[in-house]
Amino acid sequence: MAENMTMASNSDFKRWVSQLKQDIRSAQIRAAIKVNTELLRLYWRMGADICEKQKSASWGDGWLKELSRELMAEFPDMKGLSHRNLQYIRQWYLFYNQENTIVQQAVAQLDDAKAQQPVAHISEDVFFSVPWGHHLYIISQCKDVSRAVFYLKKTVENGWSRAVLLNYLDTNLYERQGKAVNNFNRLLANPQSELAAQTLKDPYNFDFLTLDGEYRERELEQALTHNVTRFLLELGTGFAFVGSQVPLQVGEDTVYPDLLFYHLELRCYVVVELKVTKFKGEHLGQLGVYVSAVNHIKKKPTDNPTIGLLICKTKNNVMAQYALESTNQPIGISEYQLSKLMPENIQSQLPTIEDIEATLSDNFVDADSCNHDM
């Protein structure tokens, strides 16, 4: 007993055990990713075969159900062979094989000469690393491949869970990403200017706030601060919250920017100023002072130049662009919306969210059990 207590309190032993646990977790993640990848490659080949047989065979209408029964009888412990999931596999394959969207080439990597490379502009490694449940959500809400590829890449880049993916699908991130009016091309060097532009959105979705009727800028700022986790999710990957109303001593005066963030990928401070009114040119003067103050007071020599983000209730894009030409500080201008940004009504034969939820629970390997749910 005493020996066990000694081992448990030994720092070298504890460090070794901690490292061993981390190694095991890493191995589990790698194994789960490999399982997911091989499963999706199998689904891709199955989708190609099913579509080919539909064109060439004359087996009647019920052959897909019969195929499901045969496969489930032969592989009783394998999920994902239900009739419903076979239909989804076929739709998934067809979705990414629309005309002019696929690179036409032999694919030895897929171990099947009949199957085309899955998607133009996306690597096989990325495509097949996205969990099956994520794939179904994406094709159910994306009407074209370019949108779908955007969400596939973002899922892998940012490790999105299904809940986060659904949030961005529901709020049309594809349409909003990189859309803020800005002057980064003129004032920031590449690739910083392009990265900064892609970091900002327009509009920002604040539907998680409960502000009704008229409210002041301070109330909007406080609501965002109290919901900073949701606000960070809406801002996107890389933002770290520094504080609200952070005092900056400018000579004999002290200024208080609404919100201050640091972006880990851009390696720069981001000053956010909120306006509950329509954009006016004079708003940039105040924000420009804050950006300059942060550069002088907070910015380290290794940091990139601070950028400003003005989020207002509405804006005239032409007026905003003209105003940005008059300032020498890198600033983006966006709107915000309090009501949920609903996606377009997509009419298609692709599965609904309800269908997907039923399938996720009943008929195939769930992303959580198949792999890391990212």
Residues 123 and 107 sit within 8 Å (Cβ to Cβ) = no
Q: Is the pTM of this model over 0.85?
A: no
Whole-number Å distance between alpha carbons of 351 and 314: 36
Residue 44 token pair: 């891709």
- CA angle at 151 for the pair 145 and 154, rounded to the nearest 5°: 140
* Domain coordinates in residue numbering, the chain: 12-171+353-370, 176-337
Per DSSP, the three-state class of 97 is coil
Mean pLDDT for the chain overall: 81
Q: Can you give the length of the chain in residues?
A: 374
Tens-place pLDDT, residues 135-178: 999 999 998 888 999 999 999 888 888 888 988 898 889 999 99
Residues of the chain with pLDDT under 70: 1-11, 13-14, 16-17, 20, 24-33, 60, 98-120, 340-374
How many whole angstroms from its chain centre is CA 343? 16
176-337, what's its fold? Answer: Trna Endonuclease; Chain: A, domain 1 (3.40.1350)
Q: What is the pLDDT of residue 107?
A: 38
Contacts of 147 (CB under 8 A, 6+ apart): 174
One DSSP character per residue, 42-93 reads HHHHHHHHHHHHHHH----SSHHHHHHHHHHHH-TT--S-SHHHHHHHHHHH
Residue 258 token pair: 């609404």
Whole-number Å distance between alpha carbons of 248 and 300: 15
Contacts of 108 (CB under 8 A, 6+ apart): none
The stretches of the chain forming alpha helices (DSSP H) are: 2-9, 11-56, 63-74, 83-95, 124-129, 132-141, 145-158, 162-170, 173-176, 184-187, 192-199, 217-226, 228-235, 283-297, 317-324, 353-362, 367-370
Beta strands at 268-278 and 204-205: parallel, antiparallel or unpaired: unpaired
Whole-number Å distance between alpha carbons of 258 and 274: 7
